[in-house]
Amino acid sequence: MGKISQKDTQKLVESGILSNKALSEMKDKGLVAKNKNTVRRFMKTADSKFVEPSLYFRGAKGTKPSNEMTEFLTEYQKLLEKYTTTKTNTK
């Protein structure tokens, strides 16, 4: 069974089909999708094309990140903010 989007749940609440109590129960059970808060960041190549840098840990699926991994990701985020721009700024 899939999750229902935030937008759809808002429409159901506004139309009176879904109560706020039922919505909170659905959220507690994990049936409502979370809003995406990611900001895509880009760098410009020498030939003026925008590319998106990415980082992942190969083989880490289903594992708990170590303290070193968390620190590394924090530093990586700082570098992304320093050297990249958002898509809205690229136009």
Per-residue pLDDT reduced to its tens digit, 33-88: 877 777 889 999 999 999 999 999 999 999 999 999 999 999 999 999 999 998 76
Residue 45 or 32, more confident: 45
Query: Which phi and psi angles does 29 have, rounded to 5°?
Result: -85, -5
The H-or-E segment that residue 6 falls in is helix 6-15
The Cα–Cα gap between 3 and 80 comes to 31
The structure tokens listed for 77 are 């985020």
CA angle 1, 17, 20 (to 5 degrees): 85
Q: Check: pTM over 0.75? Answer yes or no.
A: no
pLDDT at residue 90, as a whole number: 44
pLDDT at residue 1, as a whole number: 61
Q: Is the pLDDT of residue 89 over 60?
A: no
pLDDT at residue 88, as a whole number: 64
